[in-house]
Amino acid sequence: MSARTKARKRALDILFQSDVRGEELATMLAVEAKRAASEPARESSWLYAREIVDGVIDNSDAIDEQITTYAKDWSLARMPAVDRALLRIGAWEILYNDDVPTAVAIDEAVELAKEFSTDESSAFVHGVLARIARSS
């Protein structure tokens, strides 16, 4: 598994925990940063995970607007928390990270949805991210 895939999993964990616990994303990021400092072997995945989460924090309104626009009759509140987190990660990569090809961002989000969410989630995540990609 690549360092970026591991980083996406870490970012997913941070976003999910923040959402489920109702805590500020920046607070959860600080907790994870403290933990990461004691795990130098995982530094390569931590750096990109932090970049993702910082990017989601910095662009949260625009990212959520894109997701809401292209989720077709699904509000953010109605989505499973894992799907919300994956869509935010994928949307950030598509819209704000030129180093990641759009197809890779979508594929990684879909694979994580298959692993961590409902049976229907991978198709949902794919559809929303593909529409965001076409619009950007």
In the chain, what are the domain boundaries? 3-135
Q: What's the CA gap between 111 and 41, in Å, rounded?
A: 25
Residue with structure tokens 């924090």?
Answer: 57
Q: Letter for the amino acid at 86?
A: L
| Average pLDDT taken over every residue of the chain | 94
Q: What's the CA gap between 115 and 62, in Å, rounded?
A: 27
Residue 1 is given by DSSP the state -
State pLDDT tens for residues 83-113. Answer: 999 999 999 999 999 999 999 999 999 999 9
Q: Say yes or no: domain 3-135 is CATH 1.10.940.10.
A: yes
pLDDT of residue 45: 82
Residue with structure tokens 């619009």?
Answer: 135
Q: What's the CA gap between 68 and 21, in Å, rounded?
A: 22
What is the reported pTM?
0.95
- For the cut 90, the answer to whether the pLDDT of residue 63 exceeds it is yes
Average pLDDT over residues 13-35: 93
Give the total residue count for the chain. Answer: 136
If you write DSSP's letter for every residue of 65-108 in order, what string do you get? HHHHHHSSS--GGGS-HHHHHHHHHHHHHHHH-TTS-HHHHHHH
